[in-house]
Chain A
Amino acid sequence: MKITIETPLPGEEDEIIIKMANLSDEVLKTVRRLKDGVGKDTMAVYADENIVMIPLKDIFYFDAVDNRVFAYTKDKCYETKKKLFELEELLEGSSFIRISKNAIVNIKAIDHLSPEFNGRFVARLKNGEDIIISRGYVPDLKKKLGIGR
């Protein structure tokens, strides 16, 4: 099988063209995964060069570093091709919430919160990791938890 990857022209939309004499189930599954991206309960992420579908409930948080966004589960890290603001829109109404300029957290992955320096909070996640909740995002978190105005 020949695989060709081309860079689109400026202004041209990303497009996937599959030329096959017979569409196999495996290819159809891959197409579905690419199309779905972020599904209701799953999300397509990248582990090395492979696309992996992981349940959203397994994602603890997203972190943006050097223009790349990574999804962290309990003990693994995957890259996602989405920008943080795109994820924020796609995950609106879910258990995910923006907590700083660079991070979105799954509130169901938070074990407890502690006050820290300067009015912000540290969230201890269920895998023992700590992430910072910026002061400016605390009101949104309170609202999400049903205790803010």
Chain B
Amino acid sequence: MKTFLKNFLRWTITITTGITLIVGLIVLKYDYIPANIVIRILAAGLVTALVTTVFFTYEPKKKVGKCFGFVFFLLHYLSMCIIMTIIGVSFGWFEATFSGILEITLSVGAVYIFTVVISAILLKGDADKMNEALKKLDDNDNTDTEA
């Protein structure tokens, strides 16, 4: 439960930041920004983060191939598009038309790329730190052997 909540919080922060950037760009074309936009962005972030956390609870036992990874992320992306279509149309951010749906898929795509890039950078950073620590461990071992 603790791990679930931690992951949920992490996804909420990342996705909400991405949504804020996209909505920020959308509202530039309007003369005023509604007062409830912050709550709405947070609500959208929380819902999508919850679905994302549940999605990524799935952990295959073996190493996964690129094909599986692609299908998994595609399903996740589609579910995000559906959720944001419902939320976006309800909040008046998009229209329920073909161009509105297109705008949603592109916006979700942009947020998706943003969150994937952030996650990849963070994970790579973790991997680099751990590899450095492993190398130090190896060097210490070799020094002990030589001694």
Contacts and interface: CB of A to CB of B under 8 A. Distances in A.
A10 interface: no
A136 B68 CA distance: 21
A81 to B, nearest CB: 24
Contacts of B56: 118-119
Interface string B119-134: 1100110110111011
A interface SS class: mixed
Interface string B53-97: 000101111111000110010000000000000000000000000
A102 B69 CA distance: 23
B130 A113 contact: yes
B interface SS class: helix
B129 A147 contact: yes
A51 interface: no
B61 A146 contact: no
A145 B60 CA distance: 25
A40 interface: no
Nearest to A130: B63
A115 B126 contact: yes
A112 interface: yes
A108 B131 contact: no
Given A119-B123, A121-B127, A138-B126, A112 B134 contact: yes
Contacts of A135: 3, 59
Interface of B: 3, 7, 56, 58-64, 68-69, 72, 119-120, 123-124, 126-127, 129-131, 133-134, 137-138, 141
